[in-house]
Amino acid sequence: MHKIIIALALFVAASAAAAPFQNGSFENHAGGERKGFGDVMLSNGDGSITGWVVTGSNIDYLGSYWVAADGTFSLDLNGVDQGGIAQTFDTVPGQPYLVTFVLAGNPDAGGPVKSIQVQASGGSASTYSFDTTGHSVTSMGWTGQTYTFTATSTSTTLGFSSLETGAGGPALDNVVVAPLAPTGGNVYTVPTLSTWAGLLLLAGLLGTALWWQRGRETTHSDASDPRD
């Protein structure tokens, strides 16, 4: 029984200790949700967007200039020059992951085609482009994109970097990272909610096992009490 309890405890603790990817739509900052915050330029090393750190020169954190793809806020990865943003989160070595995000571009500055590079630490870099021709701040034309990587460490840094110079760069929003579960061969699918249901079941089993073991110890102690 002790071995079962220890195994369950280790499994639940390992699962609970993971720091998942967060704030993919950039809605929150270190002090809470930014409502009516407006538009701000953030420079290299700035960590005020929860979970993220600004890389490169600077970015524009936008809440009112154009219509975001998800929620209120999104990013222009060029402030006055090319910038980027990165987040480090826990991963399982050897586990493949799927990254989805939506891409557009600043329609009011810079050239019409905006390019971005996406790379996870230990993974290959991929380049994506968006043509702003025919789009405006009220009709951004956000398009969905995907990127995959296989984790090589217990933590991975995922970065999005503008490949444009000057002001007016690629626009980024709604980043999602999900582990991929093998379904046979090299085909992977995003895990369902049953995965989390299984974790909750194991946590319940752990609690039951601890309660049962404590009851046995109490009964044994009462039976051996010399005062009885």
Instruction: pLDDT band for 88, please (50, 70, 90 cuts).
Output: very high
DSSP code, position 66? S
pLDDT tens profile 189-204: 555 444 445 544 544 5
Contact 178, 187 (CB under 8 A): no
Domain boundaries, the chain: 23-188
Beta pairing partners, 177: 99
Q: Higher confidence at residue 107 or residue 182? A: 107
- pTM of the model as a whole: 0.72
**Cβ of 152: how many Cβ atoms within 10 Å?**
14
- Residue 217 and residue 209: Cα distance in Å, rounded? 12
pLDDT, averaged across the chain:
80
**Cβ of 216: how many Cβ atoms within 10 Å?**
11
Q: What is the pLDDT of residue 182?
A: 66
Pick the CATH number of 23-188 from 2.40.110.10, 2.60.120.260, 3.30.470.20, 3.20.20.80: 2.60.120.260
Mean pLDDT of 27-43: 70
Instruction: pLDDT band for 64, please (50, 70, 90 cuts).
Output: confident
- Residue 90 and residue 21: Cα distance in Å, rounded? 8
Q: What is the pLDDT of residue 188?
A: 53
pLDDT exceeds cutoff 70 at 115 = yes
Cα 144 to Cα 23, 118, 131, distances in angstroms: 17, 14, 14
